[in-house]
Amino acid sequence: MSLVGNLGRFRKVTGIMIKHGFGDVLSSIPIRSIFPKSRPKKGEVPEGTLPRRARLTRYQRIRLALEELGPTYIKFGQVLSSRPGLFPDELIAELTLLQDAVPPFPYEQVQKVFRREFGKNPEEIFTEFDKKPIASASMAQVHRARLKTGEEVAVKVQRPGIRKIILADLEIMKELARLAEKYLPDLAAFQPMDLVKTFEASIVKELSFKAELSNLRRFRAQFEGESRIHVPHTYDDYCTSKIVVMEFIRGIKANNVQKIKEAGLDPVVVAANGIDLFFEQIFIHGFFHADPHPGNLFVMPDGRICFIDFGMMGHLSEGDKDTLADLIIAVGKSDMTRVVDNIEKLTYGSEIPERETYEKDIGAIIEQYAGGGIGDVDLTTMVDQVREIVLKYRLRIHPDLYMMMRTLAIIEGLGTSLDPNLDVFSRVRVYGGRLVAGKIDPKVLFSQRNLMIAVYDLIKIGKEIPGDFSKISNKLINGKLKFNLELKEIEPFLNEMDTVTNRLSLAIVLSSMIIASSLIIRSDIPPKWHNIPVIGIGGYIFAGILGIGLIITIIRKGKY
């Protein structure tokens, strides 16, 4: 969907911005190129059309504008409200009020959705169906109902026409973000395009409830057998891309300390369990609930933590998990070099011209925690400080990592509201350590899968080497091979290269022998000695002799 097809909506958006007193912002960007008549001249834009606007702060007017702009912008404001440290506290406080600002849509529209999806009204499917929703959000609203088999359920119904509205608004938001980055330096520092793209990636997935159901099933599978968590049961026969029917949860909101105590539960234990479950999602599974506000987290009567609304989920690759774990350990050890390296691994397309200043800024953060205990580290503060570095040096972080940082800030806030003495950083280091330990576990290193991958990689390298030499030879023959090195003493250089090549070849042979011997031992091939395949033992011994010889040679040369 192009911006050109949404000029009417664009005019409405800019009109609402002017109404709420943001004409000065529009005056600074060339929106005349989009529709000439709509760009007011600088200094001629009214700061709000209602007298009471003059008594409101700029942040209050931002909230009112988002509310009037509709569901997409309200949802965007809700996402930003969960990023303390990125925006001023006064703005965060206003955006937090958007959580319950979406009015419900009429029951007649609920009926229309059901008729399109099932060809029936809700009354024909359920024995009970409350016409008044129990919750209303920017994307959908929830009704309480009862199946004909007797189960009490929650029925989530998507807002009619929301897909068209969201896709149009996303195009407008991206255009405004592009203009802001180009013409408004103060706003450009917040990387508005990255924020919008992150938001787009999550909200587009939420448009299909089938994706949410898939997320829920994966989430349930990764916590199978975990006694501290409850994942709602879904009734798939009643679920479509616009309707979800799941178990009705009667729990306590995770931030309601008083009710948790009244239920006979210990808030300290609840906080510890909740934090641990989140870190397990992030560091162990790499698949986490990315919208854990109190309305999506409940405490069951037996103390289990219950998650609902799986529309917004985050994903971390194995590489990202490794980097995060190493970053956390490096911060704890005040290892600035490793901290710098890991932060750069988590960014992309970034060049840092002020390298020395950049490293000093990171060093200043590390020094705050040097010499103190793990309990002295405030995780949210540390995340905010790293985020400030990212903003200052215009580093770009992948959307899922932004979501992860946002999630960390939220869960620490929830955890400390239940237990003010909660030591979040010590717990996050435990999971970082678990992740690192898992990587070097011999059972993992020498699992059949990893050994087969290693063998495949070695075979692939072996197959590619002749082709690479062939390409180099052809270029030499045709005179197309170019060197950018100035070699003053070619003979010593070639001798050194010959030595390096021999050692590298020997190292590859050693690795191949160790891997092959491991596979032979696992395959249980006779003949055997003490129930261990003799060929595998022989391979290990021969590899050991070669390895010792290589080590002795390196030591004698004094180059290690």
Domain positions in the chain: 4-102+163-204, 252-440, 443-481, 483-560
* 283-330 tens-digit pLDDT: 888 899 988 878 889 999 999 999 998 988 888 888 888 887 777 777
Strand ranges in 172-315 using DSSP code E only, listed in sequence order = 229-230, 243-247, 252-253, 287-289, 297-299, 305-307, 313-315
- Residue 380 is predicted with a pLDDT of 65
**Which residues face 313 on adjacent strands?**
289
Among 338-352, 406-420, 457-471, which stretch is predicted with the lowest mean pLDDT? 457-471
- Residue 263 is predicted with a pLDDT of 94
pLDDT surpasses 60 at 448? no
Q: pTM for this structure?
A: 0.65
pLDDT surpasses 80 at 469? no
CB atoms inside a 10 Å sphere around CB 118 = 14
* 358-392 tens-digit pLDDT: 888 888 877 776 554 444 556 667 667 776 777 67
Among 121-130, 143-152, 337-346, 537-546, which stretch is predicted with the lowest mean pLDDT? 537-546
Phi-psi region of 160 (alpha: psi -120 to 50; beta: other; left: phi over 0): beta
pLDDT surpasses 60 at 343? yes
* pLDDT mean across residues, the chain: 77
268 vs 547, higher pLDDT: 268
Contact between residue 276 and residue 325 where contact means Cβ atoms under 8 Å apart = no
Cα–Cα distance, 300 to 308 (Å, whole number)? 12
The residue whose two tokens read 């390196």 is 554
Among 311-315, 339-343, 461-465, which stretch is predicted with the lowest mean pLDDT? 461-465
Residues belonging to the active site:
291
**Per-residue tokens: 466:** 């002749």
456 vs 176, higher pLDDT: 176
415 vs 47, higher pLDDT: 415
**Which residues face 298 on adjacent strands?**
253, 306
- Residue 434 is predicted with a pLDDT of 63
Residues 6+ away with beta carbon under 8 Å from 86? 80, 190, 384, 387, 391
Q: What is the DSSP letter of 531?
A: T
- Residue 484 is predicted with a pLDDT of 54
- Residue 98 is predicted with a pLDDT of 78
Q: How confident is the model at residue 444 (pLDDT cuts 50, 70, 90)?
A: very low
Most confidently modeled range among 10-19, 147-156, 455-464, 489-498: 147-156
Cα–Cα distance, 306 to 292 (Å, whole number)? 11
Going by C-alpha positions, the residue among 283, 317, 278 that lies closest to residue 296 is: 278
Above pLDDT 90, what percent of the chain? 23
**Per-residue tokens: 521:** 């031992």
- Residue 441 is predicted with a pLDDT of 44
Cα–Cα distance, 126 to 538 (Å, whole number)? 71
* 217-229 tens-digit pLDDT: 999 999 999 999 9
The residue whose two tokens read 């501290």 is 228
Q: How confident is the model at residue 151 (pLDDT cuts 50, 70, 90)?
A: very high
* 230-259 tens-digit pLDDT: 999 999 999 999 999 999 999 999 989 999
Going by C-alpha positions, the residue among 190, 168, 172 that lies closest to residue 181 is: 190
